[in-house]
Structure 1
Amino acid sequence: MLKSKLVPGHPRPPQYPQPTRIPGPCDDCKFLNGIGYNPHESVCSYYYQCFDNNGVLVPVQRRCPFGLFWDQGDLTCKNAAAVDCATDPCKRSPRSYGAPENCRAYWQCRWGRTVRAQCCAYSHRFDRTRGCIYDNSCTVPCPPNQPPRPDVCNKRPYPQDQTQYYEDIGQGRTILRRCAPGTIFVPAPTCRCDRGTVVPPMPWECKPDLYFPFDNDLLDKADDKTPAFADRVTIDRSPRNGAVGGGAARFNGNAKLLIWKYANMEFGSKFVIRLRYRALPSSNASLEEGIITNSDCRLPCSVAISYDRQDNTTTAKIRTEGTGVVRSLLAHSPGWNAVEYRYDGNRLTFSLNGNSQSLAATGNIVKVPAALQIGTGCMGFSPFTGLIDELYVYKCIP
């Protein structure tokens, strides 16, 4: 944790809360591509997706395809035998048990866990005591039919990998999702993930995972169009602000821009941040100001760029599984400062206005269950007062 620097006459700045997590299905959910996930509280084949609605996480219940359980570790549906589900009925009784959504379907138990889904014969239903019994009213398809294909497919292929696809989640937002193991995305005629043959991927190119030019709005212009939660952030288009493109994001000491996509994300060993920032006058000098961090109020960050008004320095920090915490510190300049934060798995290279420092660091970046926070921080940081422009984030080395 960075040490607080208290100045006589200046109280400690307030710490601003994270977006609300209502107790319930979305509590402590795990994020991937801006959507939270949690297992169902009682049914192993169900799970919850949690969507950000103006800072509040709203749950939507989903069901895995027939024969699959939800795996919270990998955030995907897998064969039931490969998932250790805490509420597996086979842990309490060795008897096979029925599937509530289909009278012919049932789950088979072996060695105290569910191993596979089965179907009774046509016109037979499953009874946990007697097994498959005759019932001429039980004529539903089993395995259950897949949901009908929508008239308009809300998904499109991801060019670099057939096992992933883009999905439109409404309000102009698109997320990158991954198919279940052993399947690929088939846009027509099914508009879903099915078994198929993977073809060689297209030539790979390192593209921004996130790009905010801040010219006219607070929208991500990279391919994924990642949603962001903005609180009191404005666009400054004053003629003398010196921003590229004429606009910059203004942070007034109590503003923040949160990117939930990066909560619990595996950054791996390749990570780059590029941005320009300009500090504006402020009476707050008690803590380093967070320009971009991924700290929350429970755990320290693993990625941070911060500005210290007292020492007139800018610091880059990384926390990796191999080396631990590494910090690089360079002198801040008046006016605009151009920053590059580059980690390649062997070294953290921090550049500020053409001056750079390279320090040894190894291993993957430590995963943190917090959003990427722009213009603020929580543990050890105070909110930033100034302008931020041309923000890029890469999960590769451009």
Structure 2
Amino acid sequence: MRTRLEVNPELVAVAARRVMQRCEELARVTATPGHIERVYLSPEHARVNRLAAEWMREIGMSTRQDAAGNQIGRLDPGSGTAPALMIGSHLDTVPDAGRFDGIVGVLMGLEVARLLRSIHPDEGAQSPFAFALEVVAFSDEEGTRFGKALLGSSAVAGTWNDEWWALTDADGVTLRQAFLEFGLDPARIGEAARRPDELVGYLEAHIEQGPELDRRDEALAVVSSIASARRFQLVVEGEARHAGGTPYDMRHDALLGASEAALAVERICRGEHHIIGTVGQLEAFPGAVNIVPGEARFSLDLRGEFDGERDRVWDAIALELDGIMGRRGLRWQSREVHDAAAVFCAPLLQDVIRAGIGSGSEPPPTIFSRAGHDAMALGAITDVGMLFLRNPDGISHHPDEAVSTADVAAGIRALAESILHLAAEPG
């Protein structure tokens, strides 16, 4: 295997500064002035795709927007039929987002392609390897507009579900209608799908959306797996009665039952290893100041490193809810709205990323991702690997989200080294 990337360190530093500058440029493409918000199939989506395509062509890539609205750049090794190593992440955001979640991974992929070409100048605008290099900017990782995450990468993985066409946004626009308004043809969605034999693998660089690297004072980590997740919408049914006239021994307060359930989720999950439960939404009905709530609705997001442990904890939560609601004279029901199995990064890709980080006397950290990523969808058709970058204080999905230029430079070098190691592997 190669030892270190044969390129001037100043080129890496310049690449990192360019990534940070372009993160700022993309942050100005937003639907809400003063905040960052770019959702699927919006004018902002079209604008960032055009920018990404321009930057891809700048380094000699052929470009295309696929049938799902993903923007893809490609360097071929001489023929257009070689399998591709795909590098990327996403350019869409949550409301009031930070500048780096997803975006830094796309821009790092472009800079890695540029650097790898620079150490093989005789290749011209071609890939310097036996495989093609593709950089992909996925279009809808977050699911902000239609409530379904990973739409862009699911299309590439060939796992598109036709039931999704009926999804609607807050304005009642269906996904099918939004496709047409964006200039895409719903009937051609299958053309976005890639076959396993078309891909060598998928690598994704991403800020860690938590504090582990920051607490360890480490810049980079190898990702071992992406958390399994289940999401539920729960309803608690009680009795709405007059707030002043109903004594406590006659109350069936649905909001208090839901509130106790939320505390139970925290208590149960805090007692587990690598299980995170979050109640992110809670509503009371009829919602008047002088009425005991007769109904409460809340969400539950449950994540874990392993599917079996996650499911065991859900069973424990359900049993606890039976007890809470029984004591309070309430009824409850749940509807599962999302179920994603854990995705494990390929051992070979973990190894090449570990070698790419390299150089220290101790091996780099290996951690699992509690957040979901496009790699989860790509794992259905190819091997996936992920590189995490330190995120100060671990804050994400928030304007204070951050990453340093120095860590981006380290990540660019590590990702480029990883690809060199992968290219040197026999077979």
**Relative contact order higher in (CA < 8 Å, ≥ 6 apart):** 2
TM tier, shorter chain?
A: under 0.3
In our comparison, the structure showing a higher alpha carbon Rg is 1
Q: Normalised by the size of structure 1, how large is the TM-score?
A: 0.25
Q: Normalised by the size of structure 2, how large is the TM-score?
A: 0.24
If each structure's strand is expressed as a fraction of its own residues, which one has the higher value?
1
If each structure's helix is expressed as a fraction of its own residues, which one has the higher value?
2
